[in-house]
Amino acid sequence: MHLKTIALTLFTCLFISCTPEPIVEYQLIPAPQNVAYTNGVYSFDKETTIAFAPALESEAKLLSTYLTQLGCEVSLAPNAKKGDVVLREAADFKPERPNGYKLTTHADGVEIVSNSANGVFNGIQTLRQAIRSVENELQIQHAVVTDYPAFAWRSFMLDEGRHFKGMAVVKDLLDEMALLKMNVFQWHLTEDQGWRIEIKKYPKLTSVGSYRDSTEINHFHSKVFDGKPHSGFYTQEQIKEIVAYAAARHILVVPEIELPGHASAAIAAYPWLGVTGKQIKVPCYFGVQYDVFDVTKPEVLTFFNDVIDEVISLFPSPVIHIGGDEVRYNQWSASSKVKAYMKKNGLKSPAELQVFFTNNISNLLASKGKRMIGWNEITGDKINHFQSDEDTKLSQKLADGTIVQFWKGDPKLMVTTAEKGYDIVNSFHEYTYLDYSDESIPLSKAYAFSVIPEGLSKKHEAKILGLGCQMWGEFIPTTESMNLKVYPRIAAYAENGWTLPSLKNYDRFMQALPFFLNRWEAAGKKIGAIESPVKEEKK
């Protein structure tokens, strides 16, 4: 061979052997705050060891389940410092915001470190998405991920009052939430159309209140009914099981018990809870009902106290949701007894009575070491068309420390509510209601949601705890009909809650989505519409 040819061949061989494999970037939802890639991949052996300190046993066990599902054989190495995957809690690790973590992948494996078990768990969710299968081998690109949540409150709400779903569905949702790093499961357990939580002191709440004869179908005011009875509720033992399942996934379960409206099922069980005292049936049709609790009767207040005590014994959440939305004031306004109570307490409008009552509940919760959250009607702002200006005249002030879940009204009200000092969960219906069709909230619109409302000054931004997305239950009788609404939009809300707004990028999000599309498809979930990425207009 000619000398020149030999040299060229040698050079080419050297070049090829030295050229590193191209970096394969992770496709993650929610997008992490920072990833620095380096050359090289780590390949998992047939047998993967997970090293962890005893405090991280629960996280290590879940990781082992996840890796087993990917096809790895896993052995747990408690107290070991070395392993293919090392989970480490270190007090001196200081994430930018609580529950952040650092995930490092290098030649010897993967390390996830945080100063909290929750942070380590978040890192594990990143790891699950970063591993890819290449020719039957599980690999992960070398990188350092430095990550933390933009917002502390990243919730998904399930309304089971309208349609009961049951343990398996709830656990499945909690699994999906965990992978998406969503951390609050708002469990809407009581409604006009059904009471779904066992309260031992008041058994008729479930023996009567969890059952209805038939259900309105198609759409609101259709007056078409399916003619089939609907029922279901969670026993206290089942609730404890769900709370523990969620806790293992670092998800807080916030129970929602609707007061003083959305109360028909409870009143059907115990008519003395209502203003009229008349026996009613659990409604079969949807829309805002007229029957509301009589919040002026001492025995009704005792009932609330008893229910709250049982609820608190089941849910360790520091926050309890009391509903507060869409209270029709007709029955209060028509009742001479309620009017006399209002006069005695200097309350000039039904909205004042609602705030007065809500503050009493807030004080009651505070006396039991709990904080109250409610829909933004609890501020007394007029946001419902069925309330007159006269109804909503207000001189009462909502108790300090209350968390306001903003769902309706001019978003400027969110700004003024934050300026008054209240913490807020942004659940603005136009962007976050999963019962809305995907024509009305397409995936791109769900993604474009801004958790921080327009016009809020920097100094009040911390008042926005985060966001909620809400799966209202009127027209989702089956799991399949629910999945069509929840997926894929839940992924957009997850990213809105976790990823700093400045790092959001819809094209990148869409590129990462196939991991989830494959997962949901493999689980047999039928999902809602996915549009192609929005192309920027060329100027």
Q: How many residues bind ligand ACM (CB under 6 A)?
A: 4
Cβ proximity to ligand ACM, 113 vs 157, nearer residue: 157
Q: Helix (H, G, I), strand (E, B), or coil: what is residue 42?
A: strand
Under 8 Å between Cβ of 427 and 470: yes
Report in angstroms how near the CB of residue 304 gets to ligand ACM at its nearest.
Answer: 20
Task: Assess 436 for contact with ligand ACM (CB under 6 A).
Answer: no
Report in angstroms how near the CB of residue 437 gets to ligand ACM at its nearest.
Answer: 16
Report in angstroms how near the CB of residue 374 gets to ligand ACM at its nearest.
Answer: 10
Site track for ligand ACM across 388-407, x = CB under 6 A:
-------------------x
Report in angstroms how near the CB of residue 188 gets to ligand ACM at its nearest.
Answer: 9
Site track for ligand ACM across 326-365, x = CB under 6 A:
x---------------------------------------
Helix axes 236-248, 298-314, angle to 10 degrees: 50
Tokens 């079969």 found at: 284
Q: Which residue sits closest to ligand ACM, CB atoms considered?
A: 325
Report in angstroms how near the CB of residue 280 gets to ligand ACM at its nearest.
Answer: 20
Which contiguous run of DSSP H or E holds residue 133? strand 132-134
Residues 469-488 that bind ligand ACM (CB under 6 A): none
Report in angstroms how near the CB of residue 424 gets to ligand ACM at its nearest.
Answer: 14
Q: What is the dihedral of CA 122, 174, 517, 450, to 10 degrees?
A: -70
Task: Assess 293 for contact with ligand ACM (CB under 6 A).
Answer: no
Pair of tokens at residue 485: 């609404």
Burial of 284: CB neighbours in 10 Å, binned 0-12, 13-18, 19+: middle
Cβ proximity to ligand ACM, 198 vs 326, nearer residue: 326
Residues 405-434 that bind ligand ACM (CB under 6 A): 407
Cβ proximity to ligand ACM, 101 vs 375, nearer residue: 375
* Residue spans of beta strands (DSSP E) within 311-440: 319-323, 371-375, 403-406, 423-426
Q: How many CB atoms lie within 10 A of CB 504?
A: 19
Cβ proximity to ligand ACM, 409 vs 497, nearer residue: 409
Cβ proximity to ligand ACM, 26 vs 407, nearer residue: 407
DSSP letters spanning 79-124: T-S-SSEEEEE-TT---SSTT-EEEEEETTEEEEEESSHHHHHHHH
Residue 137 CA to residue 66 CA, distance in Å, equals 16
Q: Which of 482, 360, 374 is nearest to 427 (CA)?
A: 374
Residue 164 CA to residue 143 CA, distance in Å, equals 44
Cβ proximity to ligand ACM, 49 vs 417, nearer residue: 417
Letter for the amino acid at 182? M
Helices (H), 223-349: 236-248, 264-269, 298-314, 330-334, 336-344
Under 8 Å between Cβ of 37 and 25: yes
Letter for the amino acid at 142? H
Report in angstroms how near the CB of residue 408 gets to ligand ACM at its nearest.
Answer: 7
Pair of tokens at residue 493: 């809300």
Report in angstroms how near the CB of residue 327 gets to ligand ACM at its nearest.
Answer: 10
Report in angstroms how near the CB of residue 365 gets to ligand ACM at its nearest.
Answer: 19
Task: Assess 325 for contact with ligand ACM (CB under 6 A).
Answer: yes
Report in angstroms how near the CB of residue 281 gets to ligand ACM at its nearest.
Answer: 22
Task: Assess 375 for contact with ligand ACM (CB under 6 A).
Answer: yes
Pair of tokens at residue 530: 């996915």
Cβ proximity to ligand ACM, 291 vs 326, nearer residue: 326
Residue 136 CA to residue 170 CA, distance in Å, equals 33
Q: Which of 46, 74, 22 is nearest to 138 (CA)?
A: 46
Cβ proximity to ligand ACM, 66 vs 422, nearer residue: 422
Report in angstroms how near the CB of residue 407 gets to ligand ACM at its nearest.
Answer: 5
Cβ proximity to ligand ACM, 245 vs 475, nearer residue: 475
Report in angstroms how near the CB of residue 375 gets to ligand ACM at its nearest.
Answer: 5
The answer to whether the bond into 514 is cis (omega within 30° of 0) is: no
Residues 445-474 that bind ligand ACM (CB under 6 A): none
Cβ proximity to ligand ACM, 245 vs 433, nearer residue: 433
Phi and psi (nearest 5°) for 260? -95, 0
Task: Assess 515 for contact with ligand ACM (CB under 6 A).
Answer: no
* Residue spans of beta strands (DSSP E) within 208-271: 211-212, 230-231, 252-259
Give residues in contact with ligand ACM (CB under 6 A): 325-326, 375, 407
